[in-house]
Amino acid sequence: MRKGAKVKVCFFPQLENSTNLFLANLVRLLENTGRFECAGFYDLVRKRLSPFGYDVFHFNWFDQCENFSSFLYRFYILVRAIVSGKRIVWTIHNIESHDSLASYNKILRFLLLRHSRVIHVMSEKSFAIPFLKKQLHKVKLVPHGDYFGSYPESDLDVREKFGIAPDAPIALFLGAVRSYKNVDVLVDSFEQTHKKFPDAVLLVCGQVSPREYLDRLKEKISDCPYIRFYPEFVPNENVYSYLKNAAFLVAPYSYRSALNSGTVLMACSYGKTVVTPDIANVLDIQKQADCLYVYHYDSPEEHRKVLAQTMDKAFEDYLSGKMRDKEHAAMEYMKRNSWEMHADEWLSLYEER
């Protein structure tokens, strides 16, 4: 690379992803410095341009192939990047794939562990992941940034859309609905919470997969007057309205695969709090700011019980006004941990120092 030339970074899978703004926000930070030229792998492929002219490959969700043909293509990409001497940065978003446990993903993981220049994690607990034990010298912690300005103000009337009373407190689940997010557990728990807070409403919004899980949820929720279920993708231009109308958000993750929660950081960026278990990045957040309603569980049965209890507490604080302290703390946490506040650490992932 010529001295003074921009560092060219290729991000896998792509930059434009309406369901996850992590890479788009990171790229904005890099390009605003004037020192980087960024592109998405599949964005280049669609334009029939070669990604292999780039200096750095930043792999995300790479070792989580859902089928063998996807594995073969990713294996080719990774081997070519290795042979070409590219600087490889690998971000670990999850402990393991949320859906696929196929053994061939371990081959990709092995190569990433061996050949990555930097293994990037976003939470302290990630250092304890067993497969990182022999590669800790490569591991670098930089926390996930903010979502300030990611979702514009919207005129959508969420309460009118779903027939929710103007004064009904809303517990909101927003995002892709997958089994590891335990929405079925949330529904069971809310039934208990609703007995104490009969005016409360649970609003579940997001595209559901697989189809079998959608069918299970429809059957479970069918005709329940205090749960609104919208199994469709919520466009980014409407997200703000959902956040504004919520008393709080709920994200009841599984410990098996979840490390980091974008939902929690999105909520904090808009001054909202979240009911969520103590996954890795949630623990980091709570160390800096008491801005979330955090719980722990050891079994599915216990999860239903403690989730209901934690939602009870959240509704109590919302109705009494105590929740405002957590909402303020959430916004302050995000200001201290914005992309800009950790800019030098992000830049160091891609530059030789």
Q: What would the mean pLDDT of 51-75 be, rounded to a whole number?
A: 95
Tokens of 187: 């529904």
Q: In what order do the strands lie in the sheet with 293-295?
A: 227-230, 201-205, 170-174, 248-250, 274-277, 293-295
Q: Which of 310, 316, 318 is nearest to 272 (CA)?
A: 318
Q: What would the mean pLDDT of 57-75 be, rounded to a whole number?
A: 94
pLDDT at 351 over 80: yes
| pLDDT at 334 (0 to 100) | 98
Q: What is the pLDDT of residues 174-207, one digit of tens each?
A: 999 999 999 999 999 999 999 999 999 999 999 9
| pLDDT at 134 (0 to 100) | 95
18 falls in which pLDDT band (50, 70, 90)?
low
Q: pTM higher than 0.85 for the full model?
A: yes
HSE, side-chain direction, 13 A CA sphere, residue 295? 25
pLDDT at 295 over 90: yes
Rounded Cα distance between 165 and 37, Å, is 49
67-26-347 Cα angle (round to 5): 115
173 falls in which pLDDT band (50, 70, 90)?
very high
Q: What would the mean pLDDT of 109-131 be, rounded to a whole number?
A: 96
Position 70, amino acid: S
2 falls in which pLDDT band (50, 70, 90)?
low
Cα dihedral across residues 141, 143, 14, 24: positive or negative? negative
| pLDDT at 1 (0 to 100) | 54
Residue 48 is classified by DSSP as T
| pLDDT at 101 (0 to 100) | 63
| pLDDT at 94 (0 to 100) | 86
The number of beta carbons lying within 10 Å of the beta carbon of residue 331 is 19
257 falls in which pLDDT band (50, 70, 90)?
confident
Q: What is the pLDDT of residues 205-236, one digit of tens each?
A: 999 999 999 999 999 998 899 999 999 999 99
Tokens of 7: 């560092």
Q: What is the pLDDT of residues 84-118, one digit of tens each?
A: 999 999 999 988 765 556 789 999 999 999 999 99
Q: Which of 267, 263, 294, 264 is nearest to 278 (CA)?
A: 294
Instruction: Give phi and psi for 230, each to the nearest 5.
Output: -125, 90
Rounded Cα distance between 258 and 11, Å, is 22
The number of beta carbons lying within 10 Å of the beta carbon of residue 320 is 9
Instruction: Give phi and psi for 221, each to the nearest 5.
Output: -90, -15
Domains in the chain (CATH in brackets) are 7-145+338-348 (3.40.50.2000), 158-336 (3.40.50.2000)
Q: What would the mean pLDDT of 266-293 be, rounded to a whole number?
A: 97
What is the CA 66 to chain-centroid distance, rounded? Answer: 19
The mean of the pLDDT values for the chain is 94
pLDDT at 51 over 80: yes
| pLDDT at 97 (0 to 100) | 63
Residues 6+ apart with CB under 8 A from 74: 62, 65, 108
Phi-psi region of 85 (alpha: psi -120 to 50; beta: other; left: phi over 0): left
Q: What would the mean pLDDT of 3-32 be, rounded to a whole number?
A: 88
Asked if 197 and 174 count as a contact pair (C-beta separation under 8 A), the reply is: no
